[in-house]
Amino acid sequence: MAESTGFPDLDALLPRLDRLAELGADALDAEYTELLGRKAGALTLALKALPTLPLEQRRPFGAAVNALKLRFEDGFQRRRAALDEARRAAERAGRDLSMPARRQWEGSLHPVLVVLDEIVDIFRSLGFAVATGPEVETDWYNFGALNFPPDHPAMDLHDTLYVDRPPVEGEPGQGRLLLRTHTSPVQLRTLLASAPPVRVVAPGMVYRSDPFDASHAPAFHQLEGLAVDEGIAFVDLKATLAEFARRFFGPSTRVRFRPSYFPFTEPSAEMDVQCGVCGGSGCSACKHTGWMEILGCGMVHEQVLRNGGLDPERYTGWAFGMGPGRIAMNRYGIPDIRLLFDGDMRFLAQFGR
């Protein structure tokens, strides 16, 4: 064996296996190069030189070199894992996990539209579809067809913004253009466009000639509802809207229906829910009545059904309108309607995740 060159003394290498456990990362890398390096590692060279051995020595010697090589590879791997673990432990020890996270920007939906979406979803589950209509309407759809008597004090409740355009030709009425003061014109549009059973809700923007103040805006959202079919009655109006209130405000919500007046419904009503702030005992939020006015409603007026092409002796129906803006202000405790139009990121961040 002494005359052969390049063949390490395998026994002499063995102690270095045990000493791997004492080496640091750099020394370990150097030792690896010396023993297992691809170009000049001792064991690498030994394996490369195998073909120079006499045939009968090749097998036993090759087996011995390979076995040793595997033991060293295993040793290096263990030592590296131990060193990694030690390094990670050191890192963990120095790390302050109470430091703030890195987040993504969060988006949100507008609080009024969140409320509107919720309301629409509830009515969808009660068998309603969504309907829409234009925001610039004619006086016929907005007033005349809805049974507003011409030149009547009921008009005083609808401070109307008129459009500076020539009247629309080929439409019922005078075709005078205005910004719709309520979503009720969609009632007519739906009746004229489809046959009963009619069951729609119509969300949208409406306009009044009301200057901005804490509780008024010249433009705000409204949600209309309309159900027309044979055999629909006032008791169905009550039951459906009370069911809506329970789903929206909570299962124990109490409601009451008060008589009211709208030209396009009769009998007309307003629905109140028990004040959520005081629970009905009376507070400033509910003007000490214990009740919050939520929506106006009523049986669709006979004349509106006729204007919609239906025979009121055969078909009956009910309708409602509510202001999701007011309901949102109520729910979230928003004190000033102008906040809804301010686009203040600090405001918008509070809702609608």
Partner 1 sequence: MNVSRRWLEGFLRRELDPRDVAARLAMLGAPVDAIEPLYAGLEGILVARVTAVAPHPDADRLRVCTVDDGSGTPKQVVCGAPNVVPGGTYPFAPVGSAVPVGKGGGPLRIERAKLRGVMSEGMLCSARELGLGQDANGLWALDTDAPPGSGLDAALGLSDHRLVVDVTPNRPDLLGHKGVARELAASYGVPYRLPALPGVAEAAVPPAVKAGASGAVGSVRVAIEDAGCARFLGAVILGATVGPSPAWLQRRLEAAGVRPISNVVDATNYVMLELNQPMHAYDVTKLRGTTVVARAARAGEKLVTLDGEERALPLGALVIADLDGPIGLAGVMGGAHSEIGADTRDLFLECAWFDPSRVRKARQVVGLPTDASYRFERGVDRWNAPAAMRRCIELVLATAGGTLVDAPVDLHPEPSHPPRIFLRLARLAQVLGVALPLGEVERCLVAIGCTVVAKPDDGRLAVDVPGWRPDLVAEIDLVEEVARLHGYDSLPGDLRGARPAAQADPPAVAAIARVRRGLAGLGLREALTYPLGEPATDEAVRLLNPLSAADAALRERLLPGLARLVERNWAVRTRDVRLFEVGTVFRAGAPGARPVERTHVAAVVTGGRGPAHWSGEPEPYTLWDAKGLAEAIAELAAPGAELVPADEGWTLRLGGEAIGWAGPLAADAPPWAAPLFGVEVALRADGAAPARFRPLPEYPPVERDIALLLGAGQAAGAVVAALTGAGEPLLEEVRVLSDYRGAGLPEGTRSVAFRLVYRAADRTLRDAEVDAAEARLLAVLEAATGLRRRAADAAG
Which positions from 232 through 291 interact with partner 1, judged by CB under 8 A?
A: 232-236, 238-240, 242-243, 256-261, 266-269, 287, 289
Site string for partner 1, 16-35 (x = CB under 8 A): --------------------
Of the pair 22, 106, the CB lying nearest partner 1 is at: 106
Of the pair 54, 166, the CB lying nearest partner 1 is at: 166
Tokens representing 288? 């000490």
Beta strands 198-207 and 177-179: pairing type?
unpaired
Of the pair 200, 322, the CB lying nearest partner 1 is at: 200
| Nearest approach, Cβ of residue 239 and partner 1 (Å) | 4
- Cα dihedral 272, 276, 279, 284 in deg (nearest 10): -90
How many residues interact with partner 1 (rule CB under 8 A)? 95
| Nearest approach, Cβ of residue 145 and partner 1 (Å) | 16
Establish if 194 lies at the interface with partner 1 (CB under 8 A): yes
Establish if 311 lies at the interface with partner 1 (CB under 8 A): no
Of the pair 80, 338, the CB lying nearest partner 1 is at: 338
Cβ atoms of 128 and 201 within 8 Å: the answer is yes
The DSSP secondary-structure symbol of 337 reads G
- Which distant-in-sequence residues (6+ apart) come within 8 Å of 167 by Cβ? 138, 174, 175, 176, 177
| Nearest approach, Cβ of residue 43 and partner 1 (Å) | 35
Establish if 223 lies at the interface with partner 1 (CB under 8 A): no
Site string for partner 1, 151-180 (x = CB under 8 A): xxxx-xx---xxxxxxxxx-------x-x-
Cβ atoms of 218 and 210 within 8 Å: the answer is yes
Of the pair 147, 330, the CB lying nearest partner 1 is at: 147
Establish if 349 lies at the interface with partner 1 (CB under 8 A): yes
Of the pair 7, 347, the CB lying nearest partner 1 is at: 347
Tokens representing 351? 């809702």
Beta strands 198-207 and 129-130: pairing type?
parallel
- Residue choice 52, 132, 215, 281 for contact with partner 1 (CB under 8 A): 132
Cβ atoms of 13 and 36 within 8 Å: the answer is no
Separation of alpha carbons 242 and 257, rounded Å = 9
Cβ atoms of 323 and 210 within 8 Å: the answer is no
| Nearest approach, Cβ of residue 158 and partner 1 (Å) | 11
- Residue choice 37, 134, 276, 280 for contact with partner 1 (CB under 8 A): 134
CB neighbour burial string for 88-124, b if at least 16 within 10 angstroms, e if fewer? eeeeeeeeeeeeeeeeeeeeeebbbbbbbebbbebbe
Instruction: Please identify, among the stretches 20-28, 65-73, 85-93, 107-115, the one whose residues bind partner 1 according to the rule CB under 8 A.
Output: 107-115
Q: Residue 137 belongs to what H/E stretch?
A: strand 136-138
